[in-house]
Chain A
């Protein structure tokens, strides 16, 4: 699964720490998400999408 978190973060001029605090996770979790080394729970994916005001599908791209 790929994601566009880094791209949206840059668009909203947000640091990894800013996003981490908004979705109540540690900064390392955002780092791992951006490196595609961690797949988030549905709740975290939903929270991230809500911060950027888009749907989950726009942020997370599922590739079977």
Chain B
């Protein structure tokens, strides 16, 4: 139950930080910044969905996580690690060919890792785990 609340708190902090960045920034926002913000909102939405699932399980008198959810998380972490290695390789390759600042490339990499994790979780969670 505590971890469900933690997810909501972290998601709230990320949204607040993004809103502050938008409000206090003097620079003009480009399409890239808007896409980045959209992805942040999607990732936060995914975290809130995970937190809600834990919260509703606990409310029904069931454990917030069990052997299947732990197995799904382990497999998701393993998949997303391998996929993220290729993501960073692709970013390194394109960094010479795309005119983006270093902090933008690193931000894209971190966001990409979060997206890879979310997609891996969706595929594994709804696809099921058999014979492992």
Please give the residue numbers on chain A whose beta carbons come within 8 Å of chain B beta carbons, in ascending order. Answer: 1, 17, 20-21, 24-29, 32, 35-41, 43-44
Contacts and interface: CB of A to CB of B under 8 A. Distances in A.
A29 B68 contact: yes
Interface of B is mostly: loop
Interface residues of B, number: 17
B95 interface: no
Interface in B21-36: none
Contacts of B62: 17, 20-21, 24-27
A37 B66 contact: no
A41 B129 contact: no
B69 A21 contact: no
Given A29-B66, A35-B128, 14 more contacts: A1-B130, A21-B61, A24-B62, A25-B67, A26-B62, A26-B66, A26-B68, A28-B69, A29-B69, A36-B130, A37-B127, A38-B130, A40-B67, A43-B67
A41 B67 CA distance: 8
